[in-house]
Structure 1
Amino acid sequence: MPSWGRIDRSADTDETRAGGLIMTEGLKYTIQPGDSYWSIAQAVNGCQGVTADQIAAANPNMPASALQVGQTIVIPAGSQPQPQPVAAANIGYWRRTWLSVTPPAGANLGIAFSGWTDPDQALSNSAATVAGLVGTKYLGLGGGNENGRFSADLLQKINSAIAAGSFAAYQGLAYDVEEGDSGLSVPFAQSFAAAKAAGLKVLVTVSHSGPYGIADAAQLMEGFFQDGNIDFLSPQLYTSGSETANDWATTAGVTWQSYGTAKAAVIPSIVTASLYADAKTVLAQAGVTTQGYVVWNC
């Protein structure tokens, strides 16, 4: 993570920070061990502002692959001021366990995300993260690879962990449903019910409008929309997590209009908080009332 003691802010004023960006030509940064343009960009402006590509372009003689400790680079102004995040009742963030993260302004929901479905792995990988979560603390279960794949056996293991009180450090579970076996509608419903019975909140997120790696995703989503045990439903409006605009691709034929039937509060997952205004507007046009958002890139 970048060291703030190595940033020269001599030219920085309130005026130059308008729009959430550091609007100065003179900001310098000294490379620290483990730094990359991406990690520097994340720390300099939290969830908004200067991108890694912009920093690289401002330092053409210092390619990302050749950064060395002690080098001084220029942190440029953003290409344009970012819009201020739209206020919302629910503002969450995905706290990836392998990164240092600055929560978005107003965060009241934090998710420890390791990418594991196995509850033992998720708990162990998130152990150092839970204390620092801002807002209601959620443990993420699942993800977009083999480690995050769901099966009936793993859902039963999650249920056993719920019954054993293994999630006592958290107030909720966030099921990241992207890959998994078919025929899981009932096992998922049973797991959500078990979590609610234990006093845990339930958040479900899916890749775009539905899971991309589950054969009967459309049927599964029908169940999610009608499940009263789900508190928050969070479609991901991104693929790589580095997009500068919301990605409105759909999955498995699940339309955005279908989210209007959901019993759960719809709080889309977006790359940065500044993209919520667009998410709120587009989903409203589809007949969906949003009640907040979850930020990925922070």
Structure 2
Amino acid sequence: MESISSQQRSTAPNYFNQRTNEMSVELVYIVQAGDTLSAIAASIRACAGVTEQSVKDKNPDINENDLQVGQLILIPHSSGDGALAYTICAGDTLWAICNHINQCEGVTVADIVAENPAVKPDLLSIHDRLNIPAAMATAEPSWTLTSTADVMGFWDWTYSSAAAPQNATLSIAFSGYTDVQTVLNNAANTKGSMVGTHFICFGGGNNAGAFDIGVLDNITDAIKAGQLQDYQGVAFDIETGAAELADGFKGAFAAAKAAGLQVLVTVSHSAPFGISDASTLMMSLLADANIDYISPQLYTDGTEDKNNYDIANGFSWENYKGCKAAVVPSIVKAAYHPSAQEYFAKEGVTLSGYIQWQQTDESS
């Protein structure tokens, strides 16, 4: 999304996942010399609120893009006094480590013992692997989207604890990134609680969400390799990136359809704001039979009190009349759907529904 909220919050850890009240393993800790369960639990609790930047500051020599399995890093305590010695495991990223540690903030010795029945608390051995459970908060009350349509979608922010609306026909795990592993890691936060058809989203309105041919090749390879098999659809938030990507996107969409995935494309207002040949790309998108849904964003910062129908890069809404995909605009609130229907009808475009950006119901 182009909004400030997506650009700034998409890199923020989800400190507490309030989608479920079950215990779940969030962190694997490898025992160090001199460790005790009470010391481990206390040190993890002391790290509450840790961020990627604070870890980088504590470990100035690490390369966040090249973490090595078995590498030891220090996770600073929030007080600034002391640190947790953490051993890198396969698949770790700094974001995931911080996210997991924060979700384990309330862990106790009893929690660790219960999660590791084979471990003898008084006989810990160096290199023992301990599963550290996250004590989840109580789930938020369920809520529903208020405007009825064939398609009632929900942008499910991976960095938010909000519950998904129970009547959504599709939900999209949105993180704001294009890097495949980062997107998968972030999407894991919402995977167990998504509603309707489950989409995983690549892209966003900042540099981390920009597209180029290398990014598209990586996404296409991930699709072909079955890395998105936990989802029924793949979404592309196309807002900024390189020019001359029409063929690259076509290839990614075709690969998704061949893998049995639905395809959704969203753009900033009527066209990508940060792609120089946006009009050429849009004409390709509107004519692509492999796209199931196209969702123009009718907002900029995601807090508007009405739809914003501004055109982007000179690309007129009238062009949407020839769209092969179902047009389902992204709107701040479901309550703005009737206005969108009326506006697009005047442009000769029939809407099939909408996707809500706001993370709570309209009464909150």
Q: TM-score, normalised by structure 1?
A: 0.71
1:85, 1:277 within 8 Å by CA — same for their partners in 2? no
How far does the alpha carbon of each residue in 1:245-271 deviate from its partner, in whole angstroms, 9 at most, with x for none?
A: 000110011111111110000000000
Q: In the alignment, what sits opposite 1:117?
A: 178
1:172, 1:203 within 8 Å by CA — same for their partners in 2? yes
Aligned residue runs from structure 1 range 3-22, under 5 A: none
Q: For 1:296 and 1:157, how far apart are their aligned partners in 2?
A: 27
Structure of higher CA gyration radius: 2
Q: For 1:214 and 1:113, how far apart are their aligned partners in 2?
A: 20
Aligned residue runs from structure 1 range 182-201, under 5 A: 182-201=243-262
Q: In the alignment, what sits opposite 2:332?
A: 271
1:105 to partner: Cα distance: 5.6
Q: In the alignment, what sits opposite 1:259?
A: 320
Whether 2:264 is the aligned partner of 1:210: answer no
Q: In the alignment, what sits opposite 1:102?
A: 163
Matched positions, count:
220
How far does the alpha carbon of each residue in 1:42-70 deviate from its partner, in whole angstroms, 9 at most, with x for none?
A: xxxxxxxxxxxxxxxxxxxxxxxxxxxxx
Aligned-partner SS, 2:267 = strand
Which letter maps to 1:240? Answer: D
Whether 2:305 is the aligned partner of 1:244: answer yes
Q: In the alignment, what sits opposite 1:221?
A: 282
Q: For 2:258 and 2:203, how far apart are their aligned partners in 1?
A: 21
Which letter maps to 2:269? Answer: H
Identity %: 46
Q: For 1:201 and 1:258, how far apart are their aligned partners in 2?
A: 23
RMSD across aligned positions (CA): 1.8
1:104, 1:295 within 8 Å by CA — same for their partners in 2? no
1:150 to partner: Cα distance: 0.3
1:114 to partner: Cα distance: 0.6
1:111 to partner: Cα distance: 0.4
How far does the alpha carbon of each residue in 1:195-248 deviate from its partner, in whole angstroms, 9 at most, with x for none?
A: 001000000000000000000000000000100000000000000000010001
Aligned-partner SS, 1:130 = coil
Q: For 1:219 and 1:279, how far apart are their aligned partners in 2?
A: 25
Q: For 2:195 and 2:187, how far apart are their aligned partners in 1?
A: 14
1:174, 1:205 within 8 Å by CA — same for their partners in 2? yes
Q: For 2:162 and 2:336, how far apart are their aligned partners in 1?
A: 18
Q: In the alignment, what sits opposite 1:157?
A: 218
Q: In the alignment, what sits opposite 2:296?
A: 235
How far does the alpha carbon of each residue in 1:19-55 deviate from its partner, in whole angstroms, 9 at most, with x for none?
A: xxxxxxxxxxxxxx99xxxxxxxxxxxxxxxxxxxxx
Whether 2:149 is the aligned partner of 1:88: answer yes
Q: For 1:255 and 1:249, how far apart are their aligned partners in 2?
A: 9
Q: For 1:284 and 1:96, how far apart are their aligned partners in 2?
A: 30
Aligned-partner SS, 2:221 = helix
1:270, 1:276 within 8 Å by CA — same for their partners in 2? yes
